[in-house]
Structure 1
Amino acid sequence: MTQPLEVVLRAVGVLAAFLVLPLLVGQTEHKVMAHMQGRLGPMYAGGFHGWAQLVADGVKFVQKEDITPAAADRSVFRFAPAVALVPYLVALAVIPLSPSVVAAPTNASAVFVLAATAVGILGTLMAGWASANKYSLLGAMRSAAQLLAYELPLVLAVASVCLAAGTLSLRVIALDWQPWWLLWQLPGAIVFLVAAVAELQRPPFDMPVADSEIVFGPYTEYTGLRFAFFLLSEYAGIVVMSLLFAVLYLGGWQGPWGEQVGWIWTLLKGFAVAVLIIWLRVAWPRLREDQLQRLAWLVLVPMALAQLAVTAVGVVMFE
């Protein structure tokens, strides 16, 4: 296969996965939450279990009028959804589903994913500032404070796994993974999961979009397809963080017949983590802003630093 053709096929594969996986997570959230809370909602679209309701919602968003507030910074306002969405597409390209199934092999892929996902918050800040709405600006400032608080424990948790494996490559980390690593890195795994949920601004860490306080935060003035892009970026973030967790802590493609169907194992493990993130939305009430900051700086950061220290001692003593 010629190199240009291979690049095109890889790009098409990543784009297809990026379009399909977040929608599957969104559909799963609708149905899982409905059954957990005993309110099944629409069950008719598409026939079986209302499987096409998400498609119907997408069509509804496309049909809605795209409105830009008169006082808004029009170019920034319109560009913000793309800035929020595209970084997750870039991050997905370097996450390996198996030793051979990865769109863009990168030696420092763990750092690359963290850097790419951190850019997404700029879309939220742009949306809040450009909307010329005080509620939107307040939500954007909350998002910035939340990013600063939870990016540090997230990076420290990933650094602990990279230190244990002796590499920044997600592919090598998954290849060297052993089942007992999950026990060794369990505090870091908990820190990673909590910080990832906060980074995605998912309940119970959804203060930037708290409807009871600031309408819908940075997205208050958005309608139609641009608003749908922000929702899609949230589900894309769940996909990226779930797959990253699966590779770092669950061995990625390792499992029965892993050499033949390893990518299926990675997707299944990532899907299980995504369902856990959905469950957290149903099970926990929204935190207050002071509780969010206290959890980050007084609980998660010390846990992540302790995990990093234990990992460093273990690497020196046993390797």
Structure 2
Amino acid sequence: MSQETSTPESRQSAIERLALVNELRWQKFSVLDDGFVCLVDVMGDDSSVVQAARVSYGDGTKKVSDDRTLIRYLLRHRHTTPLEMAEIKFLVRVPMDCWRQWVRHRTANINEYSTRYSLAIEAAQGTPEDQWRTQAESNRQGSGDALPVDLGAKLTIEEQELQQKIRSVYQSRIETGVAREQARKDLPLSTYTEAYWKIDLHNLLHFLALRMDSHAQLEIRNYATAIGEKIVAPLFPMVWEAFLDYRMQSMFLTRLDREVIQRLTAHAAAAKSAPPYSNDEFLAAQDPAWVSLNRSRERDECRSKLELLGLLAKS
């Protein structure tokens, strides 16, 4: 493989890159009430992705605009290997309930703070009185609207009392001589833990696509957003731009969605009507498999997509 030719421009770019990394490294970006994410180390940049894709070319032979075009092509067509050539290592401080979701992404290297070797971190995530949420009606694992603030205030006080009580019990066990590995067993999931988390750029973007999504739990969404906007975006600006355009702010249409649109627009053309179309027109054009269903998540998702496209009047 040919190597990049050192030029004044490339040397200046390397100096600026090093300054950026040093500025970000170990900077703690706050999340929730006592959590954070911070950059420990990074290997690679946008040009690393480009170089991996153009394995038979040196880096210095292409224009920046061409690099951007290639990166956008890779993200648009979901190529993975070039993005795996870059890696980022983080230090994160996160409540254990969020961490349980986090480690479901098994494509990272992790080393976590151990409450067998050390005392549990003396911090637990608290819920502000205006941030208690109802259970979502349409999503069994998600949240709905905010609870009334007066009720939230009561819940927050109860939460604080519970956390203080459990911490007192834990501390008493430690002072009595109970083993740390046993004394910890009743600590709440709101207790903070810390971990080093190293992951390649492709799998990091997959993590961010899922955890920045509006369907993700708000708390882990805050962590993912901080990682993406505060760390990934400045380190990989071209990749981040393409990621937003083709993953986070894009729309996936199924075959059924496409056929609904075709029937809807064909009927509208015959009737000489223009969008936004009515819900009755949508129901007339819906997939035949949905017609007999009183409730259909797939139909609801299709309706939401068409509303976002401006084809349907918002319900």
Please indicate the TM-score interval, normalised by the length of the shorter structure.
under 0.3
- Name the one with the larger helix percent: 1
Question: Larger relative contact order (C-alpha < 8 A, sep ≥ 6)?
Answer: 1
- Name the one with the larger strand percent: 2
> Which protein is bigger by CA-based radius of gyration?
2
The alignment's TM-score, normalised by the length of structure 2, stands at: 0.26
